[in-house]
Amino acid sequence: MNRSIRPLSRLLAAALAVATLSAVPAGAAEKAVAIPPPSLDTPSTATSETAIVAGGCFWGVQAVFQHTIGVTSAVSGYAGGTARSPSYDDVTTGRTGHAEAVKVTFDPKQVSYGQILRIFFSVVHDPTQFNRQGPDRGTQYRSAIFTSGDSQMKVATAYVAQLDTAKVYSKPIVTKVQPAPRFWPAESYHQDYATRHPDNSYIAFYDLPKVANLKRMFPTQYRDQPVLVAAR
């Protein structure tokens, strides 16, 4: 099997997307949710910070943040597991404990950590889905925030509580907030995938609507040209 192709379950989802895409209005595959900004968003004097988040297939997560103003790098990878040097083939078994994740490096003078989380909860994924996103199932597709330091932990924890209290979603948020483990970059063929394969049925149906929702929901934080791993 071509290593750039997803497992059978994702291939079946893509095939279904091909059959139905022409009948589905633009953006219908992904619904964005209007949510308030975090009440707690600690200012930073740093020139650069990182955030690690997991919200389903990392192709779409990476794409959204690559189009976010202030983000200087968004790298797809694996986090939260126990195996050393995990590969995509290992992680997709669900036995390594890793989640598909994205390490976002950003300039806090242009976009705050709280704003990164607001985009994550609003347009990147559905935080009420347990161990799944869209057609993908398994712990490797769980919703998680891996925090770096006490400040990020406080902001993330407070924001989850704030959104749950406000009943922004019809169901409780299942996102786990935990200290950042080691992050393992994914294989090169997974990087910049949405940009390199816009005609891929999975990307067109599940991921490009996320980018469109970023532009619609957060127009002042959207940039047309993504910051790519390949350009670094």
Mean of the pLDDT values across residues 124-137?
96
Mean pLDDT for the stretch of residues 202-219: 97
What does the pLDDT read at residue 43?
84
pLDDT at residue 18, rounded to an integer: 39
Above 50 in pLDDT, residue 20? no
pLDDT beyond 50 at 4: no
Percent of the chain with pLDDT over 70: 87
How high is the pLDDT of residue 29?
57
pLDDT at residue 17, rounded to an integer = 41
218 close to 67: Cβ distance less than 8 angstroms:
no
Q: What is the largest CA-CA distance in the chain?
A: 50
Angle between helix 208-217 and 58-66 (nearest 10): 30
Q: Is 27 one of the annotated active-site residues of the chain? A: no
Tell how strand 176-179 and strand 143-147 pair up.
Answer: parallel
Average of per-residue pLDDT across 227-232: 88
Domain locations in the chain as residue ranges:
51-221
Helices then strands, counting H and E runs in the chain, come out as: 8, 8
Query: pLDDT for 140-193, tens place per residue?
Result: 999 999 999 999 999 999 999 999 999 999 999 999 999 999 999 999 999 999
Cβ–Cβ under 8 Å, residues 168 and 33:
yes
User: Which residue, 82, 107, 114, is CA-closest to 97?
Assistant: 82
Output phi, psi for 6, to 5 deg.
-70, 170
Higher pLDDT, 231 or 77: 77
Average pLDDT over residues 108-131: 97
Strands (E), 9-70: 49-55
- Quick one: pLDDT band at residue 14, thresholds 50, 70, 90? very low
| Tokens read off for 114 | 């709280």
N- to C-terminal Cα distance for the chain? Answer: 29
How many angstroms separate the CA atoms of 99 and 88, rounded?
A: 10
Q: What is the pLDDT of residues 61-75, one digit of tens each?
A: 999 999 999 999 999
Q: Which fold has domain 51-221?
A: Peptide Methionine Sulfoxide Reductase; Chain A (3.30.1060)
Average pLDDT score over the chain: 89
Query: Which distant-in-sequence residues (6+ apart) come within 8 Å of 169 by Cβ?
Result: 33, 126, 127, 128, 163
Bridge pairing between strands 99-106 and 184-185: unpaired
Half-sphere exposure of 74 (CA within 13 A, CB side): 26
Give me the catalytic one of 57, 79, 99, 177.
57
Whole-angstrom distance, CA of residue 182 vs CA of residue 81: 9
pLDDT tens string 23-48? 333 444 568 999 999 999 988 889 99
- pLDDT category of residue 231 using cuts at 50, 70 and 90: confident
Cβ proximity of 180 and 79 under 8 Å: yes
The pLDDT tens digits of the residues spanning 101-113 come to: 999 999 999 999 9
